[in-house]
Amino acid sequence: MAISKSSAPAESRTSRYLKQAGVIVGLISGVVGLLFLLFPGIRPATPAGPRDRSATLSDVSAPSPATRGQYLDYADLKKAGLTKAQLERQGAMASFKVTLVGYKGKTLPLQRQVVDLGTGDVVGETRDFTLQPTSDAENHLPFWDWVPLRPGRGSYVMVFKLFADPNAPAVECKQTKPFGGLAGQTGDKPSDLCPT
């Protein structure tokens, strides 16, 4: 009885190339993974999607009496160019925390309004700020603002609105507790001026 060679099919050229390519891809993946492990700063940042975005105003303080000069001191802002009378002007100061997630490089307008609780009208100054986060998770601690007190008695609130798009509704809104005018505060009850 004659013994012959095994009749196993010969390995095709294509399958040999696929195996070699698999080995090369595995080696490259291993080297890249090792680089990311040793040097985490070179890992590319993944852009945050719309569902990963949030904008929060929190820890809004009750407005406290302060001159404009005191406000500039608290907020670490310069007083250059202001007169003594401007620095001594009586007003109300409030602070809050801004937390932004997923808005790296985007400009977000932050608006402050002063609302008369007796009439519901926006009175005095409307002031706009812009925030531009340099990372995808950023806190601005604390954010200070000041308004001059209006003459006479009254009851007012500061309303802060944060916009992701200046042509769309605010993504976040918070208001302070009521504060009075130069002659004191009236009994106007605060209403919720921020939509839920």
Residue 44's CB is within 10 A of a number of other CB atoms, namely: 6
- The answer to whether 145 and 158 are in contact (CB under 8 A) is yes
pLDDT at 8: 45
How far is it, in rounded angstroms, from Cα 135 to Cα 63?
30
pLDDT tens, 76-114? 999 999 999 999 999 999 999 999 999 998 999 999 999
Count CA within 13 A, CB hemisphere, residue 117. Answer: 22
Q: Would residue 191 be called left, alpha or beta, if left means φ above 0 and alpha means ψ between -120 and 50 degrees?
A: beta
pLDDT greater than 70 at residue 9: no
- The DSSP annotation for 138-184 comes to EEEEEEEEEEEPPSSSBEEEEEEEE-SSTTS--SEEEE---EEBTTB
Cα separation of the two ends of the chain: 92
Where is pLDDT greater, at 187 or 91? 91
- DSSP, collapsed to helix, strand or coil, labels residue 100 as strand
Q: Which domains does the chain have, with CATH numbers?
A: 55-180 (2.60.40.10)
pTM for the whole structure: 0.70
Is-contact 94 62, C-beta < 8 A?
A: yes
Q: For residues 139 and 14, what is the distance between their CA atoms, to the nearest angstrom?
A: 55
CB 177 within 8 A of CB 62: yes
